[in-house]
């Protein structure tokens, strides 16, 4: 199954400036992500960046001399737009499958890259594919930074939200503070496979109503009527790096 991986990476970060170049066990975070993606079945792994320091720091371990950085416009508003820019620059067809891998996932299991691409390859009616894991605690269920998703019986996404969904009415007599039931809630893992035609359509649209309310890009696709197929991860995803505390834990994990 042929597919590409694109890793959007920008130098600016509110909480961790220069995040892609931060050292984790003697290797930059972005290069760790590249190595993980290259261990998947992807035909090609590229880094979409607007910073030449990042471009100079990445290489394909399967072909160290090959240039894998694609320079993109620094004014692009999101990682999705950077992936679309790479697809345009490379001349990929509408049917091409591309996986958007986050640049702050240094412990990403390569099997998950293959899994999300495979979901799209096996379902010709889907425009996007993504993954989930069970919500593990009431704290995560109520946390707006943990994105939840509900799906139909066929695995199609119905809605993504920062709110605690699905909400068990009978388990929350006291409202939010009284909720105790989060069974069956699923946490969204922010990795996507796109058909390039759908990617072009999404990035050509203005932000949608629910997207603006929730600050979740995937809602633009749902509001446009695009089908997103969802499956549970076949392997637990590794921890991402968003904060100084995450960085400390990542360095400890790499050292151990």
For residue range 114-133, list pLDDT tens digits in order.
Answer: 999 999 999 999 999 999 99
Do 114 and 213 lie in one domain? The reply is yes
pTM value?
A: 0.93
DSSP string, the chain: ---EEEEEE-S--SSSTTGGG-EETTEEHHHHHHHHHHTTT-SEEEEEES-HHHHHH--BTTBTTS--EEE--TT--SHHHHHHHHHHHHT--TT-EEEE--TT-TT--HHHHHHHHHHHHH-TT-SEEEEEEE---HHHHH-TTS-EEEE-TTSBEEEEESS--S--GGG-TTGGGG----TT-EEEEEEEEEEHHHHHHHHHSPPPHHHHHHT-THHHHHHTT--EEEEE-SSPPPP---SHHHHHHHHHHHH-
157 and 226 in a common domain? yes
Say whether both 62 and 115 belong to one domain. Answer: no
Question: Is 242 domain-assigned?
Answer: no
Asked if the model's pLDDT at residue 182 lies above 90, the reply is: no
Final residue before a domain boundary, out of 105, 121, 141: 105
Residues 61-84: tens digit of each pLDDT? 998 888 899 999 999 999 999 999
**43 and 79 both lie in a single domain:** yes
Per-residue pLDDT reduced to its tens digit, 140-156? 998 999 999 999 999 99
| 6 and 43 share one domain | yes
Same domain? 133 vs 31:
no
12 and 25 share one domain: yes
Of 88, 105, 122, which marks where a domain is finished? 105
Percent of the chain scored above 90 by pLDDT?
80
């Amino acid at each position: 199954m042929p597919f590409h991986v694109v890793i959007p990476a920008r130098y600016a970060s509110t909480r961790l400036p220069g995040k892609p170049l931060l050292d984790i066990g003697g290797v930059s975070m972005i290069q760790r992500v590249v190595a993980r993606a290259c261990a998947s079945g992807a035909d090609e792994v590229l880094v979409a960046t607007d910073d030449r320091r990042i471009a100079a720091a990445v290489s394909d371990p399967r072909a160290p001399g090959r240039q894998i950085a694609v320079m993109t416009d620094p004014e692009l508003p999101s990682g999705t737009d950077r992936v679309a820019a790479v697809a345009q620059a490379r001349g990929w067809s509408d049917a091409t499958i591309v996986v958007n891998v986050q640049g702050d996932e240094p412990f990403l299991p390569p099997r998950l890259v293959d899994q999300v691409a495979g979901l799209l390859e096996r379902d010709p009616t889907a425009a996007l594919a993504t993954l989930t894991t069970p919500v593990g605690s009431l704290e995560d269920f109520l946390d707006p930074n943990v994105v939840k998703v509900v799906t139909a019986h066929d695995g199609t996404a119905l809605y993504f939200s920062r709110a605690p969904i699905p909400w068990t009415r009978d388990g929350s007599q006291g409202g939010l503070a009284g909720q105790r039931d989060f069974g069956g809630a699923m946490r969204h893992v922010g990795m996507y496979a796109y058909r390039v035609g759908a990617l072009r359509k999404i990035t050509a649209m203005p932000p949608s109503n629910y997207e603006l309310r929730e600050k979740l890009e995937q809602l633009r696709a749902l509001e446009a009527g695009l089908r997103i197929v969802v499956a549970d991860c076949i392997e637990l995803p590794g921890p991402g790096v968003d904060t100084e505390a995450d960085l400390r834990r990542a360095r400890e994990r790499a050292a151990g």
